[in-house]
Every structure is written in C-alpha cells, then in structure tokens.
C-alpha cells in the first residue's frame, strides 16, 4: 500500500495541474523575498544612511552585506516559505488526485479559507522545525539521521493524513482513523521525510505528501469498509 501510494504520487508530480501549483507557490515565495529585500533596503536608507552621513561607505557595506545574507538565507528560506503558499493549494492537489484515480468515488469537500491558512502555517512550522533539526543534529553523529527521520515521520505523516482524511470526515473521525492505522501512517511519513531530505526535491514536498496521503487514506478507508462488512456477515452454521 505505501509503496504503491508513493509511486502513484510521484507519477503525477510533474503533470500540468501539479506544476501550476508549484510555480504559483514558488512565484509567491520569490515575490515575498524580493519584497522583504526592498523593505530592508528602504529601512537602511531611511534610518541608517542619515546617521552614517560622514561615512557613506559604511552604509554601502551594510547594504551589500545585507544582500549577501539575504541571498544565502534564501537558500534556507525558500523551502519553508514556499510551504506556506503551497499549503493554500493542497485542496487543489487532492482534487486532482481524486479526479484521476478515484473518479467514481465521492469527491472530498475543500477546507474553508481560515482553516486552510491555519493548516498552511502548521505545515510551514513543521518544515522549519525539520530544517532546524537538520542543523542541530549535525552535532550528534550516528543518531542524527535516525532522529531526523523519526520525528518528521511522526509530524508529517500525522498532518498530511489528517488533511486528506478531513476532506471526507469530521476531525474526530479522522483522528480515530489515524490512530487505528498508526503504523501505516508512520511508515508513509518516513517516505515523506526521505523525500523532504533531498535538496531541491524538497520544494515538491507539500505536493508529493498530499498526493501520497490521498492514496493512503483511500486505502485504509477501503480496508475499514471491508472489515465492517465482514463483521456484519452472519456467522457460518
């Protein structure tokens, strides 16, 4: 189930509808980072330049250092920040997966705007936490990778499955289903964590994780339905 779900998710990643979400989220990220640069440059020009009037070269050096720092920082920030915007389009991704692979099933219900924003922020916090873990765990050779994958498997598996399940279920029912299939969801989270650990490829994490968990949710829901039907069959004489 898990390998099949990952394979199906990867096969759809570079389709037109998925690419449009990627470009939208990356485009918004780049615009935001450029906007932050202009704001910082304006603050330096407004407040520091007048104070450093006798030493204009100092103001120029500060601007150049700030630009260098922004350039380096963008390499670390583009993943987490793009996750914010990608989180706003997760319903769109889930709909595309459902339409292609489950056309005869009932389509999920998109989340309202405010909950989707909250979910996007949560995803972003998880990605930031993962990057901080990756940075801090360098000091713990031998167990750093194990801790990184374990923690992120728990967090990412839980949150992306929760999102996929809540398109069809109440929050309480989604939580109950997640607990009943905790091992499968944790192992799916391990696959997502491995995907996220690959540079550049990690920009696709929200898309891949959403698509994969739609398949996982469908699989465990079908199994639950079959188990209920078997339990309702009359016992053999």
Q: What is the DSSP string of 2-58?
A: HHHHHHHHHHHTTSHHHHHHHHHHHHHHHHHHHHHHHHHHHHIIIIIHHHTTT-HHH
pLDDT, greater one: 39 or 176: 176
Where along the chain do its domains lie?
2-227
DSSP 204: G
How deeply is 104 buried, as exposed, middle or buried, from its count of CB atoms within 10 A (0-12, 13-18, 19+)?
Answer: exposed
Q: In angstroms, rounded to a whole number, what is the distance separating the alpha carbons of residues 33 and 58?
A: 24
Tens digit of pLDDT for each residue in 79-137? 566 666 666 778 888 898 998 899 988 888 887 777 767 766 776 676 667 666 666 66
Lowest-pLDDT choice from 94-103, 113-122, 156-165, 191-200:
113-122
Better-predicted residue by pLDDT, 214 or 30: 214
**Which pTM does this prediction carry?**
0.73
Backbone angles phi, psi at 167, to 5 degrees: -75, -15
Quick one: average pLDDT of 43-54? 68
């Amino acid at each position: 189930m898990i390998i099949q779900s990952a394979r199906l998710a990867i096969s759809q990643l570079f389709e037109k509808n998925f690419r449009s979400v990627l470009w939208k989220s990356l485009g918004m990220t780049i615009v935001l980072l450029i906007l932050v640069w202009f704001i910082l440059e304006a603050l330096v020009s407004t407040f520091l330049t007048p104070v450093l009037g006798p030493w204009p070269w100092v103001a120029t050096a500060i601007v150049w250092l700030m630009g260098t720092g922004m350039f380096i920082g963008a390499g670390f920030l583009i993943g987490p920040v793009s996750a914010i915007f990608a989180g706003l389009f997760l319903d769109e991704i889930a709909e595309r997966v459902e339409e292609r692979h489950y056309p005869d099933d009932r389509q999920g219900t998109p989340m309202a705007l405010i909950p989707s924003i909250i979910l996007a922020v949560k995803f972003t916090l998880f990605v930031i936490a993962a990057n901080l873990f990756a940075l801090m765990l360098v000091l713990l050779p031998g167990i750093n990778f194990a801790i990184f994958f374990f923690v992120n498997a728990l967090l990412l598996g839980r949150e992306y499955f929760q999102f996929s399940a809540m398109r069809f279920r109440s929050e309480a029912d989604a939580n109950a289903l997640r607990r009943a299939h905790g091992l499968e969801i944790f192992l799916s989270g391990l696959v997502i964590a491995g995907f996220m650990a690959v540079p550049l490829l990690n920009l696709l994490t929200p898309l891949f994780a959403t698509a994969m968990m739609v398949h996982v949710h469908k699989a465990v829901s079908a199994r639950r339905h079959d188990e209920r039907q078997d339990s309702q069959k009359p016992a053999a004489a």
